[in-house]
Chains A and B, each alone.
Chain A
Amino acid sequence: MKRVIALAMVAAVMAAACGAAAPSGGGAPATAVKLTSGKLVMGVINDQSGVYADLSGKNAVEAVKMAVEDFKAKYGDNALGGQIEVITADHQNKPDVASSKAQEFYERNNASVIFDVPTSSAALAIAKVAGDQKRLYINITAATTDLTGASCNKYTFHYAYDTYMLAAGTGKWVTENLGKQWYIIYPNYAFGQDMEKSFRSAVTKFGGNVIQSDGSPFPNQTGDFSQLLLKAGQLKPQVLGAMQAGGDLVNVVKQYNEFKLKDQGIKLAIGLLFDTDITAIGQDNMAGVVYTTPWVWSMDDQAKSFADKFLKRTGIRPTFAHAANYSAAWQYMEAIRRAGTDDADAVVKQLEGYKFNDFFIRNGQIRAEDHWVMHDALLAQVKPSSEAKEKFDYSKVLGTIPADTASRPLADANCKK
């Protein structure tokens, strides 16, 4: 008897370790799946050479491949009734390249789904192709709320995070705790403009005031933001809201420190922060910054066990984009299992309204009306390197932003799909 219990415990531990992504809401009977073309092709389109290559890029492709391997380990090689193939392309952050690659994936490679796609303008281009081709697109790394708003369609889903979530967390916390007078600077393209809008309304909602906002050229060829920082020094807001991403953000923060705006009482609020940005700026230069993120790899054991596997495979700790790619691929395959087919309409039906939890998504629900994947977000703070347990241990979690608060109200989405 003891032996049996011990065995059962070992099995449970192993299941917890391998199947970190196992959904709580799963458990649909394993009816035989029939794939429309005999095999399942999943595409990952993202930036593999430019500014966003580190935060998603090739390692996001690895994450999707890991999900496939773990899925097979859990349900058997024939879990979906055929081969599962992962294909990938570099969209170079260009909407036209993204669009033609997506076309090629759906038509020639017969891909049933496309994941990831950083750069909001490229993501919007692919959403359009997905709608036309009636195939699935699960966006992960692009942040624009337009994907579930004006540009939504039946086949596009938005996973992980969007500008509303970031503003709901950071905009609220900073306005309530650091200062009410904001000066916002943002990169002047789809993502930045959407960030500006979301933050402006969040700041106003929580009793703050945006004195002024300025767009910076994108791409910024000189890497120089001193003009805007100098203006901040003149306007003397309580908070400087920086909506830049990736390399631009690194330059803003470096020069914010250089101009010593903090000593003048101008606090820095950051719209979107990836672990890779913290690496580039230096952990101690960022210590104390509070930001919103869908996920932190060290947040709990479930997240950590994925991060350990990821580290072993790629040599780095996962960003939330990497984790979200794994999670989205897993949930997509689960949906196929439930549907018994990869037919797009049948899978969409399975996804809509679906409630689930995994190592990445907590209290998740896929909103049927606009395909936004509602889930809890986190308010996190960068800690000094003296508190770090290892090289990539950058942040601690301050609190949870419940899914309802982190999601744009449906009434504002204005999605007509």
Chain B
Amino acid sequence: MDLGYLSVQLFNGLVNGAFYALLSLGLAIIFGVLGVVNFAHGAVYMLGAFAAYLLLQQVGIGFWPALLLAPLGVALLGVIVERLLLRRVYGLDPLYGFLLTYGLTLFIQDAMRLRFGIQGQPYPTPTELSASVSLGVVGYPVYRLFVIAFSIAMCAAVWFLIERTRLGMVVRAATERGELTRALGIDVDRWVTAVFAFGIALAALAGVLAAPMRNVAPLMGSELIILTFAVVVIGGMGSIVGAVAAGFLIGALASLGAVWSPALENVIVFALMAVVLLVRPAGLFGAREAT
């Protein structure tokens, strides 16, 4: 295997990593503040992709506006869900949150299946990005480079929001020491809806980014979400930096592993998860955040 080929393969890994990062970032924020493991995250990712598809098919709105509109629309849905349903399970046994969001997943997926069938819908690559550039050995789609750059920028923006703004401070405090934050008189609950909507919007954004390169189908998120959970566990539950770092790391590692054997791509994630759980049960970045 020559180096050029490996490095291009690394880019493929980073593309996958970009999706893991955006998805697990949203999961981590939601888990941190709400204490809910959002099983519906994969379904939301799918909704994002379908929102982009519908915007194009029904209204003729293309990829660029969809990048903003689709997450916004889905976030709005998130607000409704949080207000009507999710609100009722805070403070209960985590199992209830589990059941609720898992039930929502089934509901959303089947509703989409009823309307669109199982097989999927086409979505074109935006023309501005449909070219490919030479990366030495092989032509590489510009769109993929865009996905990597865009999600890194997005993660950086989220990092800035969380590290440098007041909202971020509340989120950080609530993530790390929820009880104490409340005890200090900070109204965490005021931010709960917004945080949930934001986490959801990130997943929807990942969905829009996926639409030109993945099959836009009702079950597209159900398989990806399992891997994303593994990523979150490796990064450390509730750790924001961990979610992003683990996302890109695992995307890259899995793709490089697949060079030797394609079957390794899926295995490597879970093998890594097992090792991390054994050696650092709190996750790669979990312990640092918690102490």
Q: Which residues of chain B have C-beta atoms less than 8 A from A24's C-beta?
A: none
> How far apart are A115's CB and chain B's nearest CB, in angstroms?
20
- Which of A50, A216, A222 touches B219 (beta carbons < 8 Å)? A50
Known: A54-B117, A221-B227. A282 touches B5 (CB 8 A): no
Closest to A57 in B: B118
Residue of B nearest to A286 (CB): B122
Q: Which residue of B9, B119, B213 contacts A279 across the interface (Cβ within 8 Å)?
A: B119
Residues of A within 8 Å of B122, CB to CB, are: 279-282, 285
The reply to whether the CB of A51 lies closer than 8 angstroms to some CB of chain B is yes
Query: CA A264 – CA B214 in complex, angstroms?
Result: 22
Q: Which of B80-88, B171-179, B258-266, B280-288 forms contacts with chain A? A: B258-266
Tell which of A122-130, A253-261, A293-301 binds the partner: A253-261
With A227-B9, A234-B5 as known contacts, state yes or no: A219 contacts B223, CB within 8 Å. Answer: yes
Q: Any chain A CB within 8 A of the CB of B141? A: yes
In angstroms, Cα B262 to Cα A340, docked, is 54
CA distance A119 to B16 in the complex (A): 28
Interface check A412, CB cutoff 8 A? no
Interface size class of A (residues with CB under 8 A): 35 or more
Q: Which of B12, B132, B140, B263 contacts A224 (CB 8 A)?
A: B12
Find chain B residues with CB under 8 A from A246 CB. Answer: 119
Say yes or no: is B226 at the interface (Cβ < 8 Å to chain A): yes
B interface footprint on A255-282 (CB within 8 Å = 1, 0 otherwise): 1001110011000000000001101111
Closest Cβ of chain A to B105, distance in Å, is 14
Instruction: Tally the A-B contacts, defined by beta carbons under 8 Å.
Output: 126
B41 close to A (CB within 8 Å): no
Q: With A250-B215, A258-B143, A264-B139 in contact, is A217–B121 under 8 Å at CB?
A: no
Q: In this complex, what residue of A is CB-closest to B257?
A: A227
* Across-interface contacts of B181 in A (CB, < 8 A): none
- Are the CB atoms of B120 and A250 closer together than 8 Å? yes
Instruction: Indicate if the CB atoms of B8 and A230 lie closer than 8 Å.
Output: yes
Task: Tell whether, in the assembled complex, residue B223 and residue A51 are in contact, meaning their CB atoms are under 8 Å apart.
Answer: no
A222 touches B227 (CB 8 A): yes
**With the chains together, A228 CA to B266 CA distance in Å?**
14
In the docked arrangement, what's the CA distance between A61 and B40, Å?
31
CB closest residue in chain A, given B142: A258
Assess whether B15 is interfacial by the CB under 8 Å rule.
Answer: yes
Q: How far is the CB of B9 from chain A (nearest CB, A)?
A: 6
Q: Which residues of A contact B216 (CB under 8 A)?
A: 280
Per-residue contact bits, chain A 99-127, to B (CB 8 Å; 1 contact, 0 not): 00000000000000000000000000000
Q: Kindly provide the distance from the CB of B134 to the nearest chain A CB, expressed in whole angstroms.
A: 11
CA distance A191 to B226 in the complex (A): 25
Task: List chain A residues, Cβ under 8 A from B8.
Answer: 230
Whether the pair B119, A223 counts as a contact (CB closer than 8 A) is no
* CB <8 Å contact, A258 and B9: no
With A222-B224, A223-B223, A247-B119 given, is the CB distance from A214 to B262 under 8 Å? yes
Question: Shortest beta-carbon distance, B54 to chain A, in Å?
Answer: 15
Cα–Cα, bound, A99→B140 (Å): 46
Nearest-Cβ distance from residue A62 to partner chain B, whole angstroms:
14
A233 interface residue (CB < 8 Å to B):
yes
Question: Does A55 lie within 8 Å of B119, measured CB to CB?
Answer: yes
The 8 closest A-B pairs by CB, nearest first: A282-B122, A280-B120, A250-B215, A226-B12, A221-B223, A233-B138, A54-B119, A53-B118
Binding site for A on B (CB under 8 A): 5, 8-9, 12, 15-16, 113, 117-122, 124-125, 132, 137-141, 143-144, 212-217, 219-220, 223-224, 226-227, 254-255, 258-259, 262-263, 265-266
Interface of A toward B, CB cutoff 8 Å: 49-55, 57, 188, 214-217, 219-224, 226-228, 230, 233-234, 246-247, 250-251, 254-255, 258-260, 263-264, 276-277, 279-282, 285
